[in-house]
Amino acid sequence: MGHVTMERATFAAGCFWGVEANFRKVPGVIATAVGYTGGNFENPTYSDVCTGKTGHAEAVDILFDSAVVSYEQLLEVFWKIHDPTTLNRQGLDIGTQYRSVIFYHNEEQRAAAIASKERMQKSGKFKQPIVTEIVPASTFYRAEDYHQQYFEKGGMGGCMLH
């Protein structure tokens, strides 16, 4: 076995179905799971989170091979697939569960996320300030099975795909 290059990344960028579908296309992404994180109570259900009162964000947990895809490249995908300037909202989905968040797993990810956010802000790509939060990863609660790889199961509706 060579050097282990498996790392975790966790992002929230609106409805998790579309976010997961986008990251699953990225070469080097080994596995993804949708779930809830960043909130203040244990084992929330989808209906709990949908109230917007639990504090959790709909997020995607990504296992990736950093020899194939860098964390920076994943950040680029993250910025591309949602609007990081709308507070607690993506399109028609409104609520704190849809907030834009980068949950970092280590100091390198934190530094990369901050640098990436500053670059995006200066790039002029977005007219408004970026409101994305950059916070330490906390417990990730896997969503109910029917949410996993939702679009691959032929699920439609709910979230908008970009």
From the candidates 15, 19, 69, 159, which is the catalytic residue? Answer: 15
Q: In the chain, which ranges are continuous DSSP H helix?
A: 16-24, 46-50, 71-80, 107-123
Sheet of 100-104, strand order: 133-136, 100-104, 6-13, 57-65, 29-37, 141-142
Q: Is 15 a catalytic residue?
A: yes
Please answer whether residues 57 and 12 qualify as being in contact, where contact means their C-beta atoms are separated by less than 8 angstroms. yes
The conformational region for residue 110 under phi > 0 = left, psi -120 to 50 = alpha, else beta, is alpha
Q: Whose CA is closest to 132, among 93, 99, 94?
A: 99
Q: Of the candidates 56, 125, 120, which has an alpha carbon nearest to the alpha carbon of residue 88? A: 56
Beta-strand pair 141-142/29-37? antiparallel
Active site positions, annotated: 15
